[in-house]
Structure 1
Amino acid sequence: MKTYHKFLLFILFIAYAPVAFGQTKDDAKALVKEGIALHDAGKYDEAIAKYKEALKIDPEYPTAYHEISYSLFSSGRGKEAIVYLEKLLTLDSKSGGAYDMLGSIYDDDKQPDKAIEYYKKGIAANPEYQRLHYNLAITYLRQKKYAESESCAIEAIKLDPKHASSQRTYALATLGQNKRLCSLLAFCSFLLLEPQTKRSTEAYEYIDKIFKAGADQKEILMTTDKDTKEISPMSFAESSIIMAASASKALEKIGAGNAQERLTNELKMVFTATSKESAKVNNKDFFWKYYADYFGKLAETDNMETFTRLISLTAYKDENLQWFKDNNAKLSALDAWVTATKREF
């Protein structure tokens, strides 16, 4: 009789366990959903409480671990999130978000080496997770490891070409290495994506400084290619900044053209010269394909004035806004060109 009773209980458990299991899973999901809504409303403590309730119901629910970690991190309690993120990685070893958040927590805690360790582990586990490459580039940039930052920024751009912050990071990393041409074109690329923010003002100021430094430079330093021993295409392309800036300075002295016209001429000269040198390069790297060839194509169009006004929007705001109002068709033409023109890596 006891055997029959145990057997009956077992059958009942098998019959009803799936329904109960499904309900508890749904309850946990519902709580996490409520928590996300609270997080979005800035009610982090209440959100965290919801996630904890969800984890009591389903201790193996990865999304709950991610969301509670994010709310803790967002509320300035990043260290408390570490235990949840480590648990998340036991459930999902390829969670790029977990590695990225751990890296950010350690970076904020002034432990850059630990942050780099987690970013690299994350990239190894999930190389397609863009923010790992981007945040690693940022950490290297803060340490003034500019070459490493440049390399990581390139990977971040490849994964998300429309991520303006990655373009900006590449520009700053190359500027830190005195690769002014790379930086100039990268800032131009950044401003195409983000033309009117505080960061846009900073980016335009860097462009202006690069040209002013070129105008003041007395000598052109030319380097030779390590294989051919001839002057490298990059040296010729870099020298175009000096020539364009010097020509612009001469025009300014005699009062020829306004600032926007002179900037348009400077950029067109640099883009054209860089594109010409790019044609000489075998086995082109990221810079030549993504920046040099792209802006060389732009220089061949009628969109240069519109482009110049867009990237200098914050510097001449009232003038440029009025110009765009009067020339809406030209702005549309630039937008159509950008949309239609493919960029290579």
Structure 2
Amino acid sequence: MKRFILLTGLVLIGISGFCQTKSEKQEAYNKAKQAVELMDNGNYDMSIQLLEEATKLDPTNFIYPYEIGYALILKKKYKKATKYFEKVVKMEGSDDQSYQMLGNAYSMGGNKEKAIDAYNRGLKKYPNSGRLYLEIGNVHQDDWNKALEYYEKGVQVDPTYPSNYYWLAKIFCNSTEEIWGMFYGEMFMNIERNSKRTEEISQLLFDTYKSEIQFTSDTTKSVSFSQNNVIDITAKKPTLPYSMIYETGLMIAVSDVNSITLKTLHKIRSQHTNFYFDQKFNDSYPNVVFDWHKTLIQKEMFECYNYWLMMKGAPDEFDEWIGTNQEKFESFINWFSENPMPIDNEKSFHRLNF
């Protein structure tokens, strides 16, 4: 759930014009700021009272009734919360986040049909809202195939919104098509950094590499990230399934390693990237993730990036490595914070593009 006050408090006074006096707007803001502090401390009733007073002082500002709805959700008064959010979505300045909260209130109150209706109403106004596709997917989590459709649509229309990638990574890495989970997971970590979910996906990526790359002997190795390795020979121009390209590169890359560690994964991923571009697969199958890998290799940042990406899968190994690479890693983090993976509507990753 999201709130507005703390994010936009500095501009609240000017949001709704000057119908009220500046002092009334200032007083409304001061009350709302105090209300948020009370809400954070669990005093929901007093918080709501102050927000009601703020609403009377500045009635055209949607943020105050939004926060009342938020407080009511925290009180588990979902039906009452929906009444506030139904008003909020009709007010000037509200956006897709307001429809998200309206749907969430319905969903948490046990009314999935009205929740989906609220999200769909939001999508009519905001068709490129990743957060609304996310919520519809969440409602359908009892049917992962159905949920998958909405998460992937969310990635398609809103490639910088992280939560759809998060769920796609979890779904695919726990399926027989782990290949897509590897890409979605890495995209997620590049968009949402330094959260508990980031740590979770970091371990998931490492664990998936470890489970899908097997070393049965010094000379026998297997790579299995997909069961979809069938070529459609009936097509006018038969093409290799993307998984075959991905797995072939990995098989070559693991030829001289015998275990999965952070160190060997850096080597595997480096050789895999070089193979991809040496074979010019990037011409037929452009991939923003591999483009990013190539950039990092050229800038000699790929080792630090790989250790960062999968550190939670092997924390002891990471700690040992950082002990002798602290300065290099800090330099990478500083660069990384200023140079994120380029992701936008032109540069994005979506399974259906392959």
TM over 0.5: same fold? yes
Aligned to 1:10: none
Name the amino acid aligned to 2:170: L
Q: How far apart, CA to CA, are the structure 2 residues paired with 1:117 and 1:277?
A: 46
Aligned to 2:14: none
Q: How far apart, CA to CA, are the structure 1 residues paired with 2:233 and 2:72?
A: 52
Aligned to 2:126: 126
Alpha-carbon distance change, 140 to 156 in structure 1, aligned in 2, over 3 angstroms: farther
SS at match of 1:72: helix
Aligned to 1:247: 255
Aligned to 2:153: 151
- Is residue 307 of structure 1 aligned with residue 335 of structure 2? no
> 1:231-250: per-residue Cα shift (whole Å, max 9, x none)?
336133332376168636x6
Could you tell me which runs of 5 or more consecutive residues in structure 2 were left unpaired when the two chains were aligned: 1-17, 215-221, 349-354
Q: How far apart, CA to CA, are the structure 2 residues paired with 1:43 and 1:123?
A: 34
Alpha-carbon distance change, 315 to 211 in structure 1, aligned in 2, over 3 angstroms: closer
> 1:25-80: per-residue Cα shift (whole Å, max 9, x none)?
55444433332232233322210111223345555542221110111123332322
The answer as to whether partners of 1:24 and 1:58 remain within 8 angstroms in 2 is yes
Aligned to 1:6: none
> 1:287-325: per-residue Cα shift (whole Å, max 9, x none)?
x44323223433555333322322232233233134224
> 1:82-115: per-residue Cα shift (whole Å, max 9, x none)?
1111122232385323201012123334444433
**Please, what TM-score do these two structures have when normalized by structure 1?**
0.73
Aligned to 1:238: 246
Q: How far apart, CA to CA, are the structure 1 residues paired with 2:323 and 2:108?
A: 43
- Is residue 280 of structure 1 aligned with residue 283 of structure 2? yes
> 1:112-153: per-residue Cα shift (whole Å, max 9, x none)?
443333223213223465533443444455531213322213
Alpha-carbon distance change, 196 to 100 in structure 1, aligned in 2, over 3 angstroms: closer
Aligned to 1:67: 67
Alpha-carbon distance change, 242 to 109 in structure 1, aligned in 2, over 3 angstroms: farther
| RMSD of aligned Cα (Å) | 3.7
Identical pairs, percent = 18
Radius of gyration: which is bigger? 1
**Please, what TM-score do these two structures have when normalized by structure 2?**
0.71
The answer as to whether partners of 1:141 and 1:149 remain within 8 angstroms in 2 is no
Q: How far apart, CA to CA, are the structure 2 residues paired with 1:278 and 1:110?
A: 48
Aligned to 2:288: 290
Aligned to 2:263: 261
Aligned to 2:45: 45
The answer as to whether partners of 1:94 and 1:122 remain within 8 angstroms in 2 is no
SS at match of 1:221: coil
Aligned to 2:185: 187
Name the amino acid aligned to 2:105: I
Deviation at 1:174, TM superposition (A): 4.3
Alpha-carbon distance change, 210 to 323 in structure 1, aligned in 2, over 3 angstroms: closer
Alpha-carbon distance change, 32 to 295 in structure 1, aligned in 2, over 3 angstroms: same
Q: How far apart, CA to CA, are the structure 1 residues paired with 2:234 and 2:99?
A: 39
SS at match of 1:279: helix
Aligned to 1:15: none
The answer as to whether partners of 1:222 and 1:231 remain within 8 angstroms in 2 is no
Alpha-carbon distance change, 94 to 20 in structure 1, aligned in 2, over 3 angstroms: closer
Name the amino acid aligned to 2:47: A
